[in-house]
Structure 1
Amino acid sequence: MKVAVKILPREVLLDSQGRAVHDNLKNHQFHLNSCRVGKYIVLDLALENKEEALKEAKKMTEFLLINPLIESYQLEVLEESQSFHKN
């Protein structure tokens, strides 16, 4: 079972990468209110139960993948049909 981990800087902190992307896009005449830059990790777990997979992904994320002082995260179980858009 695949679980996506979406990691972003906490709202109260300055997101310097997001600000740099925002400023560059605005300078190129894109219509943008804000931008936040984070990480997107897909865990392919050897589990079939959704609740167990989410519990295991939460443990992994809090153990190694995030710094809880500066980052927040969301977990999402991915369906088999979900994939990245390929150009």
Structure 2
Amino acid sequence: MYLAKIYVTYKPSILDPKGESIKSALHRLAYENVADVTMGKYFELKLTGVDQDDVAAQVKDICDKLLVNVNMETYRFEIEALEAV
């Protein structure tokens, strides 16, 4: 079994309104040294499979088809093997 950790954020060319709101709030709280805030999404998927490369290909397919708006967002993922219990 494998655990896929998927991180999704806006592409650099896309305005992140939630991130901008958080940055403004931090500045109002006197955290003026905060230069930028990026807000994103995080997913964890547990997948069965024998080969890590096959699992990675499946995670990429899941991201491209469902979890990520590929026009506006970018993603990266990590896959780790889970020990059988």
For the aligned pair, the TM-score class normalised by the smaller chain equals 0.7 to 0.9
Aligned equivalents of 2:6, 2:21: Cα separation in 1: 23
Deviations 1:8-62 (A, max 9, x none): 0111011001100111112112231110001000111112422111111000110
Partner amino acid, structure 1, of 2:16: D
Residue 27 of structure 2 corresponds to 26
More strand by share: 2
C-alpha separation in 2, matches of 1:48 and 1:77: 13
Does 2:1 match 1:7? no
Structure 2 residue aligned with 1:58: 60
Tell me the distance in 2 between the aligned counterparts of 1:55 and 1:27: 44
Q: CA deviation at 1:79?
A: 5.6
Task: Give 5+ residue unaligned stretches, structure 2.
Answer: none
State the 4+ residue runs in structure 1 displaced beyond 2 angstroms. Answer: none
TM-score using structure 1 length = 0.84
Structure showing greater Rg: 2
CA RMSD of aligned residues (A): 1.6
Gaps of 5+ in 1: 81-87
Percent identical residues: 20
